Structure formats: structure tokens, C-alpha cells
A and B are shown apart, each in its own frame.
Chain A
Amino acid sequence: MSVSDLTYVYEDGTLALEDISFEISKGERIGLIGENGSGKTTLCKHLNGILRPSKGRVLIEGRDIAEMSISEVVGKVGLLFQNPDNQLFCSTVTEEMSFGLRNLGLTEDEIATRSQRYARLLRIDGLAERPPLMLSLGLRRLVTIASVLAMEQDIVLLDEPTAWLDRFQSRTATDAIKGFASSGRTIVVVSHNMKLIADLTERAVVLSRGRKIADGSTREILADKELLRRAGLSPTPVSELASDLGIAGHERVITEDDLITALCRGRDGGVVRP
């Protein structure tokens, strides 16, 4: 996928995105980060053709998304909405999960097999006949994740996938997403949760006030506290702890594993203990 010189102006004249360019290679796991209102969700909506650029282009495998039919785009790019309630409309969980698969032209047997597989993966298999909108917010979120992943599109855009989830549900969702990405599919994760971005992605694109201000390895970006500050983002809690305490090598600390490594390295003069 390639985004070139993408600019988007809302009807009321608000400039939401300005001259955004980047490329996404097959199988990449990309984080799209920025503060509330930086343009992350608007950019996502361009990557699956819901919005059309005011200027610039979005290409999928060399073809302009503006020239593709909706069914062609949906066959390639999936989108998990930020708010699950904008995505749920069927009367049972089974119908909800089958809806997209039916539109892909799968047989009823294939639909049943695939939706059951993803329902098990997201641990919602006991909810098959329940009305989705009567479920708790966390369960509604898991139903939407299962429905989107079950489509098995080449590129999946996940807008705040773990918002509304408790710890158990969050672990279930991130394991499912990691498994999905490990089969060679491309994922774009939009989030303000830097712990999640560190866990799920290898590359990060940073947006600030509708402009791209950085694009690089997730580790380098999350270690750059000045960049995070400019983007209105907070470092991970262990990263803050490491710099507050002046731990040697604190600038490399993003995750708990990094903190342990930094502490052991500082003590043993460069030798990393397990």
C-alpha cells in the first residue's frame, strides 16, 4: 500500500491531513500514533476507502483506491472501528460474524467453520445466540475484533483494538492479533497506548496536527522522548521510571524486559544477564 501527498479537508474547511506520504509493505506491523485529534482515525478511513482524499492518492498493489469498487477494497482491507457500537447491527453474534463472510462469497459451511474458529480464538464462542448490543462493552469489542479478523483480509486496520477491554480480554485480543499478523498479513494499529504499540508493532508512523512528523522503528520512536513530547504522547511507564531514577541505559528502556536488561547491564559492566 502506498500513500502519496494525501491531504484531506473536511466540509467545514478544517484541514485534517496535510501532505502525508508513506508506504506499507506486505506483512508489516505498523503503529499509527498521535494525540487525540492528530488525524489517526481520518487517515485510517482513507486506507480502506471510506474517505476520498481532497488531494493525493492511496494505492493498493499499485491501483488507486479511488478507482476500485467498494467490494474490491473490502476484499483486501479490513477496518476495526474505534467504537464497537458503530460496527454492530445484527441480532445475534453468529449473524454478526457471518455478515461480512457472506459478502465475501463464502459457502455456508465455510462461513460456519471460519466464524467458529475466530469466536473460539477471541473466547466468545459461548455467546453465539446472544444479541451483540446487549453484551458488556468489552464483549462487544471482542465480537467486532473476531468479525474483522475472520474476514482474513490482506491488510487489517485496527483502531484502538484494546480500548474497553479488561486485562483478560486484552491478552486474548493481542494474542489473536499477533497470531493473525504472524501468518504474513499486514496490520496497522492505531492507538494512544504506547505499551500496546510496543507489544504489537515493529514500525511506527507519528502524526501531529494532521502532519506526519516521524516514521521509523517503533523502538527508536518510543525511545525518543522529545519526539513523543512534541506529538503530545507519553512514554511507557517503565520508560519514565528508568529516566526518573537515572538508570544507566534508560534511553533504551521501552518494555519491562528492557528495564531488566538495563539494570543487569549497568551492574555487570555490559554483560546482559537473563
Chain B
Amino acid sequence: MPLFSLRNVTFRYPSQEGYALRDISCEIDEGEFVALLGADGAGKSTFAKLLNGVIPHAVRGTLTGEVLFKGVPTTRLQITGLVREVGLALQDPDVQLFLDSIEEELAFGPENLAVPPAEIEKRIARALELMEITDIRAKSPKALSGGQKQRLVIASILTMGTETIVLDEALSMLDQSVKKELLDTLKRMSLREKITVVVASQDAEDIYRYCDKMILLDGGRLAAVGRPSEILRSSQVLTSLGIEPPQVLEAIERIRDEGPTDVSGRLSRYFLSQLSENRMRGGS
């Protein structure tokens, strides 16, 4: 059974005339690493809020169709239960961090869920280890870098017992190298603990090397779903939707047209070897 099944989901915010999402049907499996891609206003944030039940439980609007979580419609589940299962990290980590110490920040969620102290301690140790920030435990959240703050936000979600992390443009203000390191960590965590990761972005540049599935949105509609090797056969699929494609893919396509023919095959093989599905197949 898929972790999430969206069946003909249409949603409209109360204050808006147009639909934020229209007739979306797709699935996300447990442990999948998903890139949710679309231009500005394509519906990525609305999609993200559907996954953890904020829509329709906290943000009211007109919802038709069904979002099933582990086979049960989210409308029939309590939001307090859903947010324990599906965590959302936002663009600005400072919005989600508000306590004076890292330990308080990590304990806040499970304390509110009445988790026993010994179990909270175990969860804190696991979350810090999974996000590879055990060394910052004694620091003040205010003294952390942007990348460390996002890691702390995700660790704080993990201590709730969450097995699905949705990142809504949460990587967009990080340096390229910090972003890659964080994606490396998320990938290791996802593979090791079968944690589902959904990364919403308008840029496929970094995420294409990590994801197992790409979900492409266009003006609230589903434009395509597939493995990166299927979606990235041509950069045009992305560019026509306003999504930034990997620079290497655009370069390969130009070389195919303008450069020596014998190297274009070599470059294409290099590009395909970067994809997560092919790296896994190669055993690395």
C-alpha cells in the first residue's frame, strides 16, 4: 500500500477565485525520496500542506477528491495524529525555532505529546545522529549557521516520531555546498531508516541526483510523474513548466546539437550515472 495516495484532488482557498490544485492523482511510497517541482504558484506549498493534513484541518477551503495516508482519508484522521507522522520544514528556519537551547527545541514536540523523559532522550540522540549534528548539542540555536538551523528544524520534527519529512523550499536560501551536504544527510537517513522525504522546489539542479521520483506541477495540475531517468530525457519538460533544469543536462543537449558527436554519448552516460536510481543499481 502506498504511504500517500492522492485521488482526483482539487482544492481552492476560500479567498481565491482560481483553484490551487486541480484533479491531482499520484502516489508516494514509504521510504521514497521525492522531488516536488513546479514554477512559482504551481501549487507545491498547497500539495505539501495536504500531506500533513494542515489542509483541510487548519486551512479551510473547498476540497474534493481524497488524500489517503496509509489507506485512510486524511479528512477522517485527527490533525494531532497526522502532524506526528508527517513533518513540514519551511523556507525560513527562524520561523520554526523559538527556544533558547537545542535540547529544549528537540524536546518541545515529544514533551507536548507526553512522551516519557527516557524515551525523549533516546529520540533526541537518534535525531541528532540522523541529522549529523551531534556536535552542536550544547550550542544556542541562535549561534547556528543557516544549514545547521535547517538540520535542527528537521531533527525537531524527527523527535516527534515522524517518518515523513516534507521540505517546502527549505533548501532555497542555503549555499550550494551546504545544500548538497544536507541532501546527502537526508538521503543517508532515508535509506537507513526508510524515512520518506519530499522536497518542494522550483529548481531541479541539486535534487535530481537524490530523488527516486519527480512530481511535476503546472498551474495546479499534475504535469508529469516519473523516475528522474524518465523525466530528464529532455530539459524541455522542465523548462516549459518554468522549472530550472540541471545545467549539465542543458549543456549536453547543446553539445548534441553543436559539438563533436563522439563526446555527447560520454557526457550523457556521465549525467545518467549521477542519478540516484543508477547509483543505487551500481551499489554505491
Contact = CB atoms under 8 A, between A and B. Distances in A.
A264 B244 contact: no
A167 B242 contact: yes
B234 interface: no
A232 B177 contact: yes
Contacts of A136: 40-41
Interface string B30-48: 0000000011110000000
Contact of A264 (B238, B259, B270): B259
B202 interface: yes
Contacts of B169: 137, 164
Contacts of B267: 241, 245
A238 interface: yes
Contacts, number: 106
A163 B202 CA distance: 10
B173 A195 contact: no
Nearest to A134: B15
B17 interface: no
A168 B242 contact: yes
B180 interface: yes
A241 B248 contact: yes
A137 to B, nearest CB: 7
Interface residues of A, number: 38
Given A166-B202, A245-B270, A259 B176 contact: no
A23 interface: no
A76 to B, nearest CB: 29
B103 interface: no
A233 B181 CA distance: 12
A35 interface: yes
User: Is the interface on chain B under 10, 10 to 19, 20 to 34, or 35 or more residues?
Assistant: 35 or more
A153 interface: no
Nearest to B92: A83
A237 B247 contact: yes
B259 A170 contact: no
Contact of B178 (A36, A163, A194): A36
A263 B146 contact: no
B40 A166 contact: yes
A137 B40 contact: yes
Contacts of B248: 237-238, 241
A160 interface: yes
Contacts of B205: 237
Contact of A36 (B145, B243, B259, B266): B145
A36 B38 CA distance: 26
Contact of B147 (A36, A244, A259): A36
Contacts of A169: 39-40, 242
B255 interface: yes
Interface in B222-280: 238-239, 242-244, 246-248, 250-251, 254-255, 258-260, 263, 266-267, 270
Which 4 A/B pairs are nearest by Cβ-Cβ distance? A138-B40, A166-B39, A234-B176, A237-B247
6 contacts: A36-B178, A164-B172, A166-B40, A169-B40, A238-B247, A263-B263
Given A138-B202, A192-B175, A245-B270, 6 more contacts: A137-B91, A139-B40, A164-B169, A192-B174, A232-B177, A259-B255
